[in-house]
Amino acid sequence: MAFNYSRRVYLGDTDAAGVVYFARGMEICHEAYEESLAVAGIGLQQMLIEGTIALPIVHAEIDFRRPMFCGDLLRVSLVVNRVKDSEFAIAYQIFNATNLDKVLVKAQTNHVCINPQDRARVNLPLAIVNWLAQTK
C-alpha cells in the first residue's frame, strides 16, 4: 500500500521565482521516505548509531510537471519496490492536497544496502524487508 505524507511548502523551499527550488523537490521526497520508515518503527538514528548498515541512494531522478508555490499543502505518495536482496527503489508522486487529480512531481530513488565499514553490499535487514512489503 502506498504511504502518504503531507507537508506545506515554506518560503525557504522556493527560489527567486517563488516556486519550489529543484533540489528541495528531492528533499521533500526524502522527508516522505524517512517518515514512512519512522511510522514502520525503523529508527534511522538507531541505524546510524549501530553502524551495521547504510542505505545510500545510488540513483535519483525527478520530473517537475507543474509548479509548487509557497503555502501549498502537498501530498507525497510513495511506493517501494524490492529490486534485489540488497537493493530497493522508491517511486514518488507529489500532488497539491486540494487537487489529487494532477501530479505535480514524479521522482524515483534507488537505494542499496551496504556495510558502512567496507562499503560492500549486504542483504537488506528484516525490518527493511518488512517495510518494503507494507509499502508496496
Give the active site residue among 13, 15, 63, 101.
Answer: 15
**Residues recorded for the chain:** 136
Please indicate whether residue 63 is annotated as part of the active site: no
Instruction: For residue 78, give every residue at least 6 positions away whose Cβ sits within 8 Å of its Cβ, in sequence order, or none.
Output: 2, 3, 5, 29, 32, 33, 36, 90, 91, 92, 93, 135
Cα dist from 6 to 72, 78, 105, whole Å: 11, 12, 14
Catalytic residues: 15
